[in-house]
Amino acid sequence: MAGPGRAASARLPGRLLALVVALVVAGCGPTERRAADDRFTLAVVVPRVEWSPDEAIDIRGSLAFHGPERRIDVGGSGSGLVTWSLEQLDGPLDPGGGGTDDCRPHEIARDRPMDMVFTKSGGFGAGGPGTAAAAIRAYFEDPVLRLPAGTYRITAWAQFAEGRCDGPRHDLAAWIDLRVGGGSGRGLEPQGPFQTHQAPPPR
């Protein structure tokens, strides 16, 4: 990725290894994925994993602090503590994603998760737009998340440090695979009641 987004997402794994536990409800029911360490939990939720190309996909995330303190100061990207990336598993649409490399203060209260919605970021790869130019251009021009037929992995990244950027690091990644317009299903993770894997997500 030529832009800063992919570079920011490539810093995993950090000092704290995140264990990702996925709660999957197959078909049209809600799907939630979580990545957690001993102090923070990152969650990603979609109403369902099957969509049609003309639908706006609703995907949301949250970052929760569950340590003993009432609140905690952390340092993370000025783009936000949680950034997003998207990858098509069976086609050319791979805009990547990420955030700026600066470090700014944020505060999280215990048991009061920070909620966020999916936001687009990323760009072309180092070799230029290539055959994916039209798909990537259409992706960024659409104000909502609407995707052509295919199978996609959407990942939420939370990379930050306790205190003012120099404390213990936390690197969490939670991802959900979606199928749009039937898709090929190639690369799609097996669906089941529970799944466990380690961050970062496999390519």
Contact by Cβ (8 Å): 172, 36: yes
For 171-175, what is the mean pLDDT? 93
Per-residue pLDDT at 17: 39
Lowest mean pLDDT across 85-94, 120-129, 194-203 = 194-203
**Domain for residue 50, yes or no?**
yes
Contact by Cβ (8 Å): 75, 88: no
Lowest mean pLDDT across 11-15, 123-127, 166-170, 180-184 = 11-15
**Domain for residue 197, yes or no?**
no
Residue 56's pLDDT band, with cuts at 50, 70 and 90, is very high
- Residue 3 pLDDT greater than 60, yes or no: no
Among 28-42, 60-74, 188-202, top mean pLDDT goes to 60-74
For 122-142, what is the mean pLDDT? 72
- Higher per-residue pLDDT: 13 or 100: 100
Residues in the chain, overall count: 203
**Domain for residue 159, yes or no?**
yes
Measure Cα distances from 181 to 136, 142, 146 in Å.
18, 18, 11
Contact by Cβ (8 Å): 11, 171: yes
Residue 80 has, within 13 A of its CA and on its CB side, a CA count of 19
Contact by Cβ (8 Å): 63, 174: no
**Domain for residue 80, yes or no?**
yes
pTM to 2 decimal places: 0.75
Q: Which class for 183: exposed (0-12), middle (13-18), buried (19 or more C-beta within 10 A)?
A: buried
CATH code (residue 70): 2.60.40.1470
**Domain for residue 199, yes or no?**
no
Range of the domain at 174: 4-190
